[in-house]
Structure 1
């Protein structure tokens, strides 16, 4: 579908305790946050722990476990969410980032997982 548009080019940055990038929902309709089953981030071939991943949209930040019960917030089509990974940070330079999203859609008989991989540069 829109897998190659998930990671926003040029959005990699350092944050306190880790790094972040902007990501888009790989689904043509918005979804309630409780319908996002999982988000996985891999950096330079290393899968980051689920507990280290945070999701932030419109000024609210959630752990992936918290998102399971968020019924009053959405991730809209085309909206850029900040994906935060609290792993201690990355060195300056290029990094290969893979961003995978598994979402639950009521009318689909399977749970789709979509992913995008891009090389992003982190400024010094």
Structure 2
């Protein structure tokens, strides 16, 4: 999760409660915003249901993805997760690009064996909130 800005600060309370897991995506918000130069910026805000393993306590974790492109969402009823979405940092591969991250779901059988329910590229990622469900 080192690719996600503010992730450690947002999840410190979860970590203090012990182990926790991602359960499913419970919200998808796609927003078009404008920067100070009136450039169009596509934002994707995903809300995740996360759960403390020992107590079963449930939380909603919101993560914002900036400058989203090539967003693909396949028809789904639930987007269950075996862990968080997989984030590939293309900068580590030596690629110079404004769309630094490739994000997609995974079936749990391997990083390239996804169900392909959701997939997109983005320039940066930030954890924005954690609230109890």
Larger radius of gyration: 2
TM-score (norm 2): 0.28
Scaled by the length of structure 1, the TM-score of the pair is 0.30
RCO comparison, higher one (Cα < 8 Å, 6+): 1
